[in-house]
Amino acid sequence: DAGVIQSPRHEVTEMGQEVTLRCKPISGHDYLFWYRQTMMRGLELLIYFNNNVPIDDSGMPEDRFSAKMPNASFSTLKIQPSEPRDSAVYFCASSLPAKRNEQYFGPGTRLTVT
């Protein structure tokens, strides 16, 4: 298996621009998680999906952030408009239903908003 795939790996954008991060989970994994990691706040869960349905988005910082999962093999995290404080590494992870303690992380997208 190729593992969790994320794109782009790096994104540099100007404040106010829309940013879309993409994720392909491991085939057969019913759970998909979006995390954000910064030095100050550590690893934070933003939102997670079960069988393509958003279950908990309480970690989404504000309305500028949105996430979708149109099918079992694709999810997006969108920031519109982006702000410098959104600069972070964004990880997507997936897991099997019976092994939710064992999450498989993608390589991450390093976002820089100038």
> According to the binding rule CB under 8 A, does residue 33 interact with other proteins?
yes
Helices marked H in 1-114: none
Could you say which of 45, 64, 72, 87 contacts other proteins (CB under 8 A)? 45
> According to the binding rule CB under 8 A, does residue 107 interact with other proteins?
yes
Q: Which is nearer to other proteins, 3 or 16 (CB)?
A: 3
Choices 18-26, 41-49, 66-74, 76-84 (CB under 8 A): range interacting with other proteins: 41-49
User: What are the b/e assignments for 76-111, b being 16+ CB within 10 Å?
Assistant: ebebeebeeebbbebbbbbbeeeeeeebbebebbeb
Choices 13-21, 63-71, 74-82, 100-108 (CB under 8 A): range interacting with other proteins: 100-108
Distance CA 8, CA 66 (A): 17
Distance CA 111, CA 2 (A): 23
> According to the binding rule CB under 8 A, does residue 50 interact with other proteins?
yes
Q: Which residue has the tokens 């106010």?
A: 16
> According to the binding rule CB under 8 A, does residue 53 interact with other proteins?
no
Write out the binding residues for other proteins, residues 66-85 only, by CB under 8 A: none
